[in-house]
Amino acid sequence: MSQQTEDKGVNLPDPAEMAKTYAEVAQRASRIITQYMEKKAKDGVEAPADELGVAKAFMDLSARLMANPYKLAQTQMNMMWDYFSLWQGSMMKMMGMPGAAPVAAPKKGDNRFKDEEWEQHFLFDFMKQSYLIAARHIHDTVADTDGLDDATQQKVNFFTRQYIDALSPSNFAMTNPEVFRETVKSHGQNLIKGLNNLLHDVEAGDGQLRIRMTDTSAFEMGKNVATTPGKVIFQNELFQLIQYDPKTPDQYKKPFLIVPPWINKYYILDLREKNSLVNWATSQGHTTFIMSWVNPDEKLAQKSFENYLLEGSLEAINQVCAHTGEDSVNLAGYCLGGTLTMTTLAYMTAKKDKRANSATFFTTMLDFSEPGELGVFLDEGAVAGLEKKMAERGFLEGSEMAGTFNMLRANDLIWSFVVNNYLMGKDPFPFDLLYWNSDSTRMPAAMHSFYLRNMYLANKLKEPGGITLGGVKIDLSKVKTPCYFISTIEDHIAPWKSTYMGARLPSGPTKFVLGGSGHIAGIVNPPVANKYGYWTNDATDGNLPESPEDFLAGATQNAGSWWTHWDKWVTSLPGGSAKVPARQPDAGALKVIEAAPGSYVKFRLDTQKKD
């Protein structure tokens, strides 16, 4: 028997290796189940809460659908005709006859169906098209339901899409041709390895599934990510301040300070040398500083948005000016860091503090009237639920925030890894961007509650005097600092039309630029890549049109990266081209604490063992 097997060229799996894998799976599964049951018995089992109001939303949907049975019957009839056409075409394909055009085809960029057998094999093609037909009709039925309010409509649309994505035939072993081939080839070892990977991820998540997106062991902070040389020159409870080593013999006189979001780690702007914004800016002659926010625990539960302004962004400005001896800086804020930056400018304006020479905003929302799909997670019930969790721990757990963002792009950030890790049985590929994406951070309870309630829910930031911080009524309309807004056309976190409305709030000279791609790729877009391009509308500088549609209608598309466009803008401002001898981090007024990237950024939640 073994000779016949060898003659046929079939390589059976090593029995010893199989036994070892089975034993590891059994032991891990037993341990996880035991720990989970013990934990539940200790904590008490509570009925699942519906903080997002999903059940009510779908009850409303059902009532509206049943109220118009004729429309529902018409939809079912249309779907039946699509299936009839698909059956007819599939039979022709099975018999080798040239078939008609597909009834349903994946959208461009849908990587779920990239394997050639989805197209060539009639059975897999039938399953693919059958799924796409059902998905289209289900989605259209939900989206076209009359009588639902906007919030309910958005919820049923979003969670219907989650349901549709989850049921894709690409997510199941027997209906995914690539997984099917691997299962036959490896005699099912891929599924056993995949189960082991699944149990590993559940174990690492302390009973909750934490899908590994990359091999985190392949990266080391300061070695192959966050590599730009520099020094930490200041720190307090909230952040470390990094100054980067100069790369030119002289530098622009105005220092450049970046305020990143504290929802994520700063090194998205310093992944590798070739795509690092801080490395590029330093290479252009800017004395570049960046804030590295702390990953807070329960000790910082009462740190508020006001603390992040007074002890964070404003303190960073204080220290950069003290260290360099300059009287003003060029600021840049990314996403939530941009929201804080504009709030800081309004605070400084009220205090007649003129130390902001300019401000740049990467994908920043100031007007939250149209928050996009994030609005699904941000109504009164959802925020109250988050506040209850934060009250117990003192912070919002980083994995909860990360899970929300991943759901916005579930096929790319969830299901593709389910297929790779658990069905194909492969280890995740080392990828620096996904290493950063999995490096989640916590949110202090007081700060996050204020941010969600006053900005997302009540949208008070855009109202003059809508919020008060440090005894100052915040009024964005009084900010006259020259501003540069860069947003991205495919942004699913800070939709560009919303960021555009915010760009119209300050009263100083404002330039709005629309980049290609999305929230990350559109910002981390170095000139050397020569990708995506960007739109400008020079006729509107300083006086933006009322609507984003009007801006885009008169805009010109430019090739390359917005980075070079921004550099010309910031250095063309009054005094912007003046230079001084290169500034070394250890030659300023502040003492060096440690080398970049510093200790704050090195703390990762996914490497910490929970009690």
Q: Which helix (H) or strand (E) holds 181?
A: helix 177-186
The answer to whether 138 and 164 have CB atoms below 8 angstroms apart is yes
> Quick one: which of 258, 239, 267 has its CA closest to 364?
258
Q: Would you state the pLDDT for residue 7?
A: 44
DSSP 201-237: HHHHTTTS-----S-GGG--BTTTBS-S-EEEEEE-S
The answer to whether 298 and 611 have CB atoms below 8 angstroms apart is no
**145 and 259, same domain (yes or no):** no
Residue 352 lies in a domain: yes
User: pLDDT by residue (tens digit) across 249-298?
Assistant: 999 999 999 999 999 999 999 999 999 999 999 999 999 999 999 999 99
**Going by C-beta distance under 8 Å and a sequence separation of 6 or more, which residues neighbour residue 457?**
378, 379, 380, 383
Range of the domain at 116: 55-170
**391 and 531, same domain (yes or no):** yes
Residue 188 lies in a domain: no
Residue 189 lies in a domain: no
Strand-pairing partners, residue 261, are none
**148 and 258, same domain (yes or no):** no
Structure-token pair, residue 538 = 């020079």
**139 and 276, same domain (yes or no):** no
- Per-position b or e across 47-72, b if 16+ CB within 10 A of its CB: eeeebbbeeebbebbeebbeeeeeee
The answer to whether 141 and 62 have CB atoms below 8 angstroms apart is no
| CA torsion angle 539 540 543 549 (round to 10) | 150
Residue 102 lies in a domain: yes
**Cα-flanking dihedrals φ and ψ of residue 200, to 5°?**
-60, -45
What is the rounded distance in angstroms from the CA atom of residue 332 to the CA atom of residue 75? 50
Structure-token pair, residue 54 = 């999903």
Domain harbouring 362, CATH code: 3.40.50.1820
Burial class (CB in 10 A: 0-12, 13-18, 19+), 258: buried
What is the rounded distance in angstroms from the CA atom of residue 87 to the CA atom of residue 103? 10
Q: Which residues of the chain have pLDDT under 50?
A: 1-10, 47, 609-611
The answer to whether 213 and 437 have CB atoms below 8 angstroms apart is yes
Task: Give how far the C-alpha of residue 522 lies from the chain's centroid of Cα atoms, to the nearest Å.
Answer: 12
Q: Would you state the pLDDT for residue 47?
A: 47
Q: Is the peptide bond before 597 cis (omega within 30 degrees of 0)?
A: yes
Structure-token pair, residue 126 = 């039938």
Q: Would you state the pLDDT for residue 407?
A: 86
Whether pTM > 0.85 for this model: the answer is: yes
The answer to whether 522 and 491 have CB atoms below 8 angstroms apart is yes
What is the rounded distance in angstroms from the CA atom of residue 188 to the CA atom of residue 22? 12
Residue type, 175: T
Residue 423 lies in a domain: no
**159 and 243, same domain (yes or no):** no
The answer to whether 343 and 470 have CB atoms below 8 angstroms apart is no
Q: At what angle do helices 177-186 and 189-204 cross, to 10 degrees?
A: 110
Structure-token pair, residue 447 = 């700060």
- Per-position b or e across 418-429, b if 16+ CB within 10 A of its CB: bbbbbbbbbebe
Structure-token pair, residue 153 = 């409509």
**113 and 234, same domain (yes or no):** no
> Quick one: which of 403, 393, 241 has its CA closest to 323?
241
What is the rounded distance in angstroms from the CA atom of residue 301 to the CA atom of residue 578? 43
Structure-token pair, residue 431 = 């990828």
The answer to whether 457 and 466 have CB atoms below 8 angstroms apart is no
Residue type, 364: T
Residue 489 lies in a domain: yes
Domain closes at, from 121, 138, 170 = 170
Residue 418 lies in a domain: no
Domain closes at, from 143, 170, 197 = 170
User: pLDDT by residue (tens digit) across 456-507?
Assistant: 999 999 999 999 999 999 999 999 999 999 999 999 999 999 999 999 999 9
The answer to whether 538 and 402 have CB atoms below 8 angstroms apart is no
User: Sign of torsion, CA 383 387 390 395?
Assistant: positive
Q: Would you state the pLDDT for residue 6?
A: 43
Active site residues: 335
The answer to whether 516 and 529 have CB atoms below 8 angstroms apart is no
**114 and 236, same domain (yes or no):** no
Supply the Cα-derived Rg of the chain in whole angstroms.
27
**454 and 563, same domain (yes or no):** yes
Q: Would you state the pLDDT for residue 538?
A: 84
What is the rounded distance in angstroms from the CA atom of residue 360 to the CA atom of residue 479? 13
**132 and 247, same domain (yes or no):** no
**249 and 152, same domain (yes or no):** no
Q: Would you state the pLDDT for residue 452?
A: 94
Number of H-type helices and E-type strands within the chain: 22, 17
Q: Would you state the pLDDT for residue 93?
A: 79
Residue 475 CA: distances (Å) to CA of 307, 450, 464, 507: 18, 17, 4, 11
**267 and 372, same domain (yes or no):** yes
Residue 212 lies in a domain: no
Domain closes at, from 170, 199, 220 = 170
Place of tokens 């891990």: 28
Structure-token pair, residue 162 = 């989650």
What is the rounded distance in angstroms from the CA atom of residue 445 to the CA atom of residue 452? 11
**Going by C-beta distance under 8 Å and a sequence separation of 6 or more, which residues neighbour residue 348?**
314, 354, 355, 356
Q: For the chain, what is the domain count? A: 2
Q: Where are the alpha helices (DSSP H) in 357-414?
A: 380-393, 398-407, 410
